Chains A and B, each alone.
Chain A
């Protein structure tokens, strides 16, 4: 009984902290429509700031606390609103989510930079752990104060949102910002207030929870993320329910700490479950709560474009990749080649996000976890150079992906992101750390002693044991995956995915099976990720669960989204940035952190341009090159010449990379004026014209009536002349829709 009370008190304190954090999260969501994934990271940053002030610089505790919560945090909230969040108004939900993920990555990287992770740091609870005796139990003053503060926050927020006009105006702003203006409310003021209060609450929670751990950026961030479970139980709306949720999460976590170690059976498997208890609560909450309560807000406007890749364009891309791979494989130094083999596996994992996130618009935070599963499968099934291991990896990951997607089918937006994030954290912190276990007489060890060793496969004469052979095989596998993704996008599934993304309701009323479509894309994407994980593990030969951590997965997602999540090249960008020697040697030991920071900062710009860099910058820049045979041949020729010269040792090895860089920069500069001149002589514009149309689509009919040819071209683009509806009496004649339309006219 005594023990139970002790755990109850500490559980209530944890619950109080989660409640403070979750209510801040809910407040910003309710009033600005932005679900701030970086809320936990903000709290983590505040905890570090507090440590710096109170411990390192010896400020008095109350001063440091008040400074952090009432001065630094609101200012930081203002900064966030000003620099990032303001530009998210009207952005699609997926963009809003990814941008807050970027904030998280930047904050975590910044904290690791400012406070060297290898130094041991710790903060103390308030009142230095003193307390009073009640019924034979020591109740720390700290806990009493935390509970009091939580109650005050609850009451204060309720009054703010339901009684004060500022609060009602904050809620009104979410419903309809321009109507709020018409009622004399200033939406910018509401948003600023919401971010200031939300950030303060995150900071308070971060500082209060920090004594439970040693100070370390990622665990501390994840600890505060636990509060998200409480916010989900509150359906991101109801503050009382959020507080109830916080009680469930806090008590569950502390009872588990108290009682799970007492279970006599299976201790080695259960130990890892303790830190993920709140994540399991989140999973259960997402599964149990009724779907209608969990529907995300629809995007106000679609600003993303998902152009259909052509086979010709894909061919050019594939040729460029193959050419680059051959050059790299034949000229890179041995060590560099080894450290670059990881490129292709990560590129395939990045590519796996294109159908799911890019085409279907579903944010998944667990693609790298599927890759981890693929890696484990290849390690276990790949003994004796078994080539089927990669297929097995894809198949197992596909099955897991399908199972994960079953509950995900009814979720979208933030709830889906949270579900996949929870799955990733659970896998990362618990499942991947499990010791060996026995199922049906066979022994499994996912990551034996924390490391996986993997044998590279061999098929007949093709032996991929050497780095060069594996590098080229990896490139071939990546291109095969590219072909699959392009075929999907060009086929019926791709069109269904876009339809489901842009209007699930319209897709459903057209008779599409939205759930089956979603299931298919989840499965496909998990299979690709599993394959990528297998290729990655084969490349590096020995890997640890860290390579598949939740945080690395976030960085990978960001790179893909920044590059352009609907473009097949974005996967390659992820591979190049995360898996090659180039980035590592350029930035030294901090490479992962540099990459994360740069990518995070770049992602912040997504609010302005949700399409990413490839479609908006790279493709327009290189389009003239593709259209100009002379420049194209010249570029390829120059690179080939340099390559040959390098192979025969006529030039120093580092001339080639510099030459490639020079050609890459110079080719668009040369090609653009050429393309402009060609267009001037032909009297037509090179771009902005749709195939078969007499002018840009949006200007048809402005200068001249829409002609027969234009109508036919539009019909062809919409596939109206081939679409055959097989239901309904008026179509019994077998006429196509195109004919029916012409007939009616």
Chain B
């Protein structure tokens, strides 16, 4: 079976500095891939390359077996590839309702009422806040809104960047419970995280990105053991301490 999302030898640079030096990764349809790694490893760049926001300087990006290098991000978005960027993926000055409406261009032809209905069904808390500007909500609620907006249009591929950033552990657990529920609906997910403990529970496969290269890839249980080494640049220590706690 062809992987739904595949990177072959992908390179990317920021100006003169190359940040991805030939990354190979593949995710089958309906699987969850967790990409872990320390700051500056190139995780966010990887997602931006996938979403078409950053042109790769080498290698191939394949979506559904078709080469997607240099594809227009708007086209990718309309074909069901959805990135929730780092930070809060919401428009702060639009109301919650208007944030949800931003998805209504899709060929699926959802009405606004349907969009709101689905979002509220998944995150009831948003139902009370439809008229509120998104920027006035708490961080966790904003991430919920971002997830909700990504979900109502039934994406084929969901790219999540640092969902946990700046949030309380309880909220992070709640968000990842939603991610698990989404994964159960056969959405292919690539999730980038520094907070390894939460994401490894959800992932089908995990990869560790260090200095722009895949340092390790495999089942989450195996990866968990190698993490400290990857983060600290030395041999894996005896105790399998989750990286999120360092």
Contacts and interface: CB of A to CB of B under 8 A. Distances in A.
Given A171-B91, A171-B93, A179-B85, A185 B98 contact: no
Interface string B67-111: 000000110011000110100011111100011011111100000
Interface string A175-192: 110111111111000000
A168 interface: yes
Given A175-B92, A175-B94, A184 B78 contact: yes
B92 A169 contact: no
A182 B94 contact: no
A303 interface: no
Contacts, number: 61
A181 B90 CA distance: 12
A183 B103 contact: yes
A182 B85 contact: yes
Given A168-B101, A168-B102, A182 B91 contact: no
A184 B103 contact: yes
Contacts of A176: 91
Interface in A128-187: 162, 165, 168-169, 171-172, 174-176, 178-186
What is the interface of chain B mostly: helix, strand, loop, or mixed? Answer: loop
A296 B85 CA distance: 25
B51 interface: yes
B91 A184 contact: no
A174 B74 contact: no
Contacts of B105: 165, 183-185
A594 to B, nearest CB: 40
A632 B83 CA distance: 59
B11 interface: no
B53 interface: yes
B149 A183 contact: yes
Contacts of B77: 181-184
A172 B82 contact: no
Contacts of B106: 184
B74 A184 contact: yes
A176 B92 CA distance: 9
B85 A178 contact: yes
A386 B78 CA distance: 75
B115 to A, nearest CB: 11
B208 to A, nearest CB: 24
Interface string B102-125: 111110000000000000000000
A562 to B, nearest CB: 28
Contacts of B103: 183-184
Contacts of B82: 182
Interface in B151-183: none
A174 B93 contact: yes
B93 A182 contact: no
A181 B103 CA distance: 11
Q: Which bracket fits the contact residues of B?
A: 20 to 34
A169 to B, nearest CB: 7
B78 A168 contact: no
A178 B76 CA distance: 13
A300 to B, nearest CB: 14
B193 to A, nearest CB: 19
B102 A172 contact: yes
A182 B102 CA distance: 10
Contacts of A182: 51, 53, 73, 77, 82-83, 85, 89
Interface string A547-569: 00000000000000000000000
A169 B149 CA distance: 14
Contacts of A174: 93
Given A182-B51, A184-B103, A171 B98 contact: yes
B94 to A, nearest CB: 6
A707 to B, nearest CB: 22
Interface in A260-307: none
Contacts of B78: 184
B89 A165 contact: no
Contact of A183 (B53, B92, B93, B102): B102
Contact of B104 (A165, A178, A180): A165
Contacts of A178: 53, 85
B94 A168 contact: yes
**Residue picked from B51, B90, B105, B149, most chain A C-beta under 10 Å:** B105
**Residue picked from B74, B89, B105, most chain A C-beta under 10 Å:** B74
Given A165-B104, A168-B102, A178-B53, A186 B91 contact: no
B102 A180 contact: yes
**Residue picked from A162, A180, A182, most chain B C-beta under 10 Å:** A182
Given A168-B94, A175-B93, A181 B73 contact: yes
A390 B236 CA distance: 76
Contacts of A180: 91, 102
Contacts of A185: 74, 102, 105
16 contacts: A165-B102, A165-B104, A168-B94, A168-B98, A168-B102, A175-B92, A175-B94, A179-B85, A180-B91, A181-B53, A182-B53, A183-B103, A184-B74, A184-B103, A185-B102, A186-B74
Given A182-B73, A184-B78, 15 more contacts: A165-B104, A165-B105, A168-B102, A171-B93, A171-B98, A172-B98, A172-B102, A180-B102, A182-B89, A183-B105, A184-B77, A184-B102, A184-B103, A184-B105, A184-B106
Interface of A: 162, 165, 168-169, 171-172, 174-176, 178-186
Interface of B: 51, 53, 73-74, 77-78, 82-83, 85, 89-94, 98-99, 101-106, 149
The 3 A-B pairs of least Cβ separation, nearest first, read: A175-B91, A184-B77, A183-B102
